[in-house]
Amino acid sequence: MAVQNITMPQLGESVTEGTIEKWLVKPGDTVKKYDPLAEVVTDKVNAEIPSSFEGVITELIAEEGQTLPVGAVVCSIEIAGDSELPPPPPEKKSAVSTAILNAGVQKKQEAPQPVSTPPSAAPKEARKDKVRYSPAVLRLAQEHDIALDQVTGTGEGGRITRKDLLKLIETGNIPTAIAAAPAPSTMQTTAPVQPQQGEKPAAPVQPIQPGDIEIPVTKVRRAIANNMVRSVHEAPHAWMMMEVDVTDLVAYRDSLKSEFKQKEGFNLTYFAFFVKAVAQALKEFPMMNSMWAEDKIIQKHDINISIAVATDDALFVPVIKHADEKSIKGIAKEIHELAIKVRTGKLAMDDIKGGTFTVNNTGAFGSIQSMGIINYPQAAILQVESIVKKPVILPGGMFAARDIVNLCLSLDHRVLDGLVCGKFLNRVKEILENTSKSSTSVY
């Protein structure tokens, strides 16, 4: 008999940690290879941790609600018929797991942990640059008004863990923000404390009035919020919009849609034409298919289009892989299948990995102009707005009703400038305005 560890998997290119939402097994359960062990929430997707072995669950090391880094041990399995791999010595197990796990769940700390950092230990600015808080830690800190900059973490590299905060809450020794006291002789006691430079003021607590409804923030909503805040704070957004005359495209698609649906079993949407045009333009302007990486810019080889799919309470961004190699029919089919997976809760890890550029179909809701938040760490997102009839002046001074759509581009100004973005949008416009029955095949 041998014992093997199951670790937190990599659930996306930029994902560094995951939160155990729910265990699906318990110690003593027999599992087969690829059986789901736990539900995990990250800032990009809800997923399951599959078993890498067949055997019996011996220990659940991570706790529900605990946030762990990629590679941390979450549970152990006793493998039958593998006597060549001996189990680790019992006396070393706790030490090894404590070193690997962010939260040190293998053994309890007997001595109370310090809850404040002396001013001489490290400047506050330095700590903020080094420490990144997990969603679970941020949520507990907000609920119990804990000043995280006054807490010393026991995790790897001084990282503050969920267990650190729970211990403070249990003892009642909760550190709060330190404000300088005014001199007794002054009249400053009612003046509000101004935040330090670079610090965000605390959000005021909104009183609950009769008729108000409190809606708990789900882990998925919290993950979306964290990712959006990170994108806005780290990426300097700039915007560009272009009008496109898609009259011929609309006529072409409308002439095909009934026959196409009957033949293929799914809808031929306008959105498939837009995704195809964007994929083609990305191939011609590869800088648009790039990502910021601090000391370098990474220009991605594969053109993988992320598409936003919303449910009643969440937003998911599945990926159409190698979109430039697919026909309009192939893209339409993949949009249809990914949307079904999202709405039935069957989206897999592989469905959301590897996106390099996002196209959002905001026009489906009737929007005619919007400014999207970039899907971090990508460099741009294109909003396809609603197609509307507008009077247009044609050559010769004649007026006509034409089908017009706005394409709204949000860009990361660290990576992209107006010149390349303008050329890219012009190319997308050219492709769409020349899409017609005589020039374009959907197959």
Kindly list the catalytic residues. Answer: 413, 417
Q: Are 411 and 421 in contact (CB under 8 A)?
A: yes
Using CA atoms, how far apart are residues 48 and 51, in angstroms rounded to an integer? 10
Side chain identity at residue 200, one-letter code: K
- Give the DSSP letter string of 125-188: HHHHHH----HHHHHHHHHHT--GGG----SGGG---HHHHHHHHHHT-------PPPPTTSS-
- Sign for the pseudo-dihedral over CA of 86, 87, 93, 96: positive
| Token pair 């010393």: residue | 152
Side chain identity at residue 236, one-letter code: P
> Which has the closest alpha carbon to 160: 202, 117, 211, 102?
102
Residues facing residue 237 across a β-bridge: 412
Q: Are 6 and 49 in contact (CB under 8 A)?
A: yes
> Which has the closest alpha carbon to 217: 139, 312, 141?
139
Buried b (16+ CB within 10 A) or exposed e, 90-128: eeebeeebbebbbbbbbeeeeeeeebebeeeeeeeeebe
* Other beta carbons less than 10 A from residue 437's beta carbon: 13
Using CA atoms, how far apart are residues 353 and 318, in angstroms rounded to an integer? 8
Q: Are 245 and 403 in contact (CB under 8 A)?
A: yes
Question: CA angle, 271 as apex, 269 and 274 as ends, to 5°?
Answer: 130
Which pair of tokens denotes residue 5? 């560890």
| Token pair 């936003």: residue | 308
Using CA atoms, how far apart are residues 219 and 229, in angstroms rounded to an integer? 15
- Give the DSSP letter string of 311-337: -SS-EE--EETTGGGS-HHHHHHHHHH
Using CA atoms, how far apart are residues 357 and 291, in angstroms rounded to an integer? 9
Using CA atoms, how far apart are residues 383 and 403, in angstroms rounded to an integer? 17
